[in-house]
Amino acid sequence: MTHTTTTPTSSIKVLYFAQVAELAGLREERWPLPKPVTGTDWLSGLEARYPQLAPVSRLKLAINQTHAPHASLIRPGDEVAVFEPVTGG
């Protein structure tokens, strides 16, 4: 983490759910993001910070509450959710 202020325009809100939240040890955090990155690249950074989440290729992403393939772009200000395949119903 840098020590610059993380405003909504230079960061994203990250939400962790279920097993991912248990492994990461938290449910929500702000993550500095000055410019857009692909989900794949962002997940690499996530794995670097939380090695216990590996392999991140199995994880699902939602961007602004919509399911998003890993190739999607994550932009500053987005709400990004990380989770295992869902098991409702």
Partner 1 sequence: MVLVQPDDFDSAALLAALRERSAGKAGAVVTFTGYVRDYAQDAATQSLFLEHYPGMCEREIEDLCDTARQRWEVAECLVVHRYGELHNGDQIVFVAVASAHRGDAFRACEYIIDALKTRAPFWKRETLSSGDRFWVQQREADAEKTQQWDDTHTPAAHGK
Name the residues that contact partner 1, by CB under 8 A.
15, 17-19, 62, 65-67, 81, 83-89
For residue 40, what is the enclosing H or E element? helix 39-49
Minimum distance, C-beta of residue 5 to partner 1, in the bound complex (Å): 26
For residue 73, what is the enclosing H or E element? strand 73-74
Residue placing its CB nearer to partner 1 in the complex, 15 or 32: 15
Residue placing its CB nearer to partner 1 in the complex, 5 or 55: 55
Residue placing its CB nearer to partner 1 in the complex, 32 or 62: 62
Burial of 87 (0-12, 13-18, 19+ CB in 10 A): exposed
Torsion, CA 29, CA 34, CA 36, CA 39, rounded to 10: -30
Minimum distance, C-beta of residue 59 to partner 1, in the bound complex (Å): 12
Minimum distance, C-beta of residue 35 to partner 1, in the bound complex (Å): 25
